[in-house]
A = this chain, B = another copy of it.
C-alpha cells in the first residue's frame, strides 16, 4: 500500500523549482531511464555526452551538454558509463573536484575486478566524493514502475553528506535507501544483483539428487518388481503414490541434516577441547545452509501432507476401498474393530500432525520479519528445542507407521529395504548422539568450552 502510493505520488509533477539540478554522464539505457524518472519527480536533469547533438531518445525536458559543461551545472553527477570507460573522466578531475559522483555500474561476473567499480572511480578522482547507489535497480523496472523487488537502493560512500544527498534523491524517486556504510561495502553491493539464490545452490542440488535416487529406487521396487513378479501394471503410481513415498523420506532426511552439523561441531569441540580452532570448511559451509535445508524439508513435508490428504479422492484408493467392503459384504461378514490397528493408525497420524505443526512454526520464525523481532535466546529456543521436538515427532511418526514391517520379509523386495527404513538411519543417529550429548557429564564440559574454556591452553595454536 504504502509503497505503491509513494510511487503514484512520485509520478505526479511536484513543484519542481525546489529540486536541485542533477547531471547524468552517459545517455545509455539506464541513464535515460533514470533521467526520465528524475524529471517525473521534479528534478531538472542535464546530460553530459560526447556528442551534444540532441538525440530524441533522451527525455524531452533534459538538456544535453558536453561533460564539462554539464558537470558544472550540478552538485550531484550520476556516472552512467561502464567501468572500462572511467579513465576518460581523469581529464575532468578539476571540474569534478568536490562533486558527488554516483557510481551506478554493475559487472557481468562476481568479483570481476580486484577492487569494486566505485573504489576504482574514487582512486581515479580522489577529489570527488564517490557514492555507490542504484546498481540494484533495473532500468526496465524503473521505467515501468513495477519495482517490487528493487525498491531498496543500497547506498554506500565515505562522505556522509554526499551520501545524504544521494539518499534524498533516492527517496524522492519513491525508492527506499539503505545505508550500507563506507565505500568498502561497494564490492558487496556490486556483487548483490549478480547472485541467483547463492545459499540455495548446494541444498537444492543435494535434494534434487536424493529425490531422483529415491524416486528411481521406488519405481524399481514398486512398479517394475510388481510388473515382473505379479504381472500387474501399476505405472500410475508415478503420479501420486511414489511422490508421496519420496516426499516424507526427503523431509525427514533433510530435517536430520539440519541438526547433524551441530552434532559434528559438538563432537569436534569436545575432542579438541577448545572452540578457538576453525571447523573444517565443509562443516562451516554446511552450518551456513541449515536454514535452506530446513525450508526445503518443510516444502517436502507440506507436499507429503497434501498428497496424503488427497488420497481418499484417488480413483485407485476408492476402488481398493470399495473392493474390500464388497468382498466383506459378499462373504456376509463384518470385521470387528481391531483396537491395536486403531491405536497405531491414530497415533501415527497424530504424531505426524504435531510434528508438521512444529515444523511450520519453525518455518514461520525463519521469515525475516519474524526472526528480526525475536532475540537470540528466543530464536535458539525455537530453532533448537522446538526443532529437536519436531525431529523426534517426525521420526516417531515414521517408526510407528512402518514399525510392524521391519521384521516382515515381504517388505524386502529383492532383499532391498523400503525407503522409509533408509530414511530413519540419519534421524535416529542424530537423536541417539544428541541424547548422549545432553547427559550432564558430556554437556558440562561442552558448555564450558563454548564459554571460552580450553582443555589444553598450551597446545592450542
Contacts and interface: CB of A to CB of B under 8 A. Distances in A.
Interface of A: 1-7, 9, 14-15, 18, 28-29, 32, 42, 55-57, 136-141, 143-146, 148-152, 160, 164, 168, 171-172, 179-182, 184-185, 187-188, 191-199, 233, 235-236, 239-241, 243, 265, 275-276, 279, 284, 287-288, 290-291, 299, 302-303, 305-316, 318-319, 321-330, 332, 334-335, 337-339, 341-347, 349-350, 353, 356-357, 366-381, 383, 450-452, 454, 457-458, 460-461
A357 B265 CA distance: 35
Given A2-B192, A322-B325, A374-B1, A314 B239 contact: no
A193 to B, nearest CB: 5
Contact of A28 (B164, B187, B342, B452): B452
Given A136-B376, A305-B306, 6 more contacts: A4-B198, A9-B188, A168-B181, A243-B350, A308-B313, A314-B349
A344 B233 CA distance: 15
Contacts of A32: 276, 452
Given A188-B6, A370-B368, A322 B323 contact: no
B316 A346 contact: yes
A5 B198 contact: yes
Nearest to A180: B171
30 contacts: A4-B288, A6-B188, A29-B452, A57-B276, A57-B454, A141-B376, A144-B265, A144-B279, A146-B288, A148-B366, A150-B376, A168-B182, A172-B184, A194-B377, A233-B339, A236-B339, A239-B346, A239-B347, A240-B349, A306-B356, A309-B310, A312-B312, A313-B345, A314-B342, A315-B345, A316-B337, A316-B346, A322-B335, A367-B367, A368-B369
A343 B379 contact: no
A302 B151 CA distance: 29
A330 B332 contact: yes
Contacts of A314: 342, 345-346, 349
B195 A275 contact: no
Contacts of A56: 457-458, 460-461
